Amino acid sequence: MAVTCRVYSNLSDEVFKVLRNIKQYDEETQKNIRSAVRDGTKEVLTEAIRRAPMRTGKLKASITMSFDYDKSMGIVRAKSPHAHLVEYGTRAVTITPQMRKVLEINGKFATYANIPAKAAHPFMRPAIEKVRPDIEKKIIEALK
């Protein structure tokens, strides 16, 4: 089961209105705005990969980027099934048997299992927050 880790970034109202009404601008300005969004998305991708914790490398390898030309929207996502657990962390859990009297874990039996909490190691949110002002600045410059 693949789970996509989603972190949304809200741009300033001014930039959001520009992107929503992009069709009202001439072709050259539209091209510059889309280029600014695409370049900003690439920067977020690079920063997210740089910030992702490295143990096996699967998390970093699962971070991908796509760009929707019609909506002028860039998407950076981590497709690894544990990405959301790393980004947000987990709480401590006690597992008890449901259908049997005991749990079997690696050939040993137990009446319960304590799984400790894991601290969050955010990599997407800090990447977005670091790059967002640059994206907004580039979009506003593209209007001039």
The model's pLDDT over 6-64, given as tens digits with 9 standing for 90+, comes to 556 667 778 878 888 888 888 888 889 889 989 999 999 999 999 998 878 888 999 99
Instruction: Name the nearest CA neighbour of 126 among 19, 53, 30.
Output: 53
> Does any domain span residue 19?
yes
pLDDT digits (tens, 9 = 90+) for 51-90: 998 878 888 999 999 988 887 888 888 888 888 888 999 9
Residue 47 token pair: 């920063």
Tell me which residue has tokens 């319960």: 112
82 occurs within a structural domain: yes
Structure tokens at 116: 């400790």
Residue 116 resides in a domain: no
How many domains is the chain partitioned into structurally?
1
Domain that holds residue 47: 13-89+121-143
Q: Considering the domain boundaries, does residue 134 fall inside one?
A: yes
Helices (H), 57-123: 58-62, 83-88
* 25 falls within a domain: yes
pTM reported for the whole predicted model: 0.79
Residue 114 forms part of a structural domain? no
Residue 1 covered by a domain: no
Residue 35 lies in a domain: yes
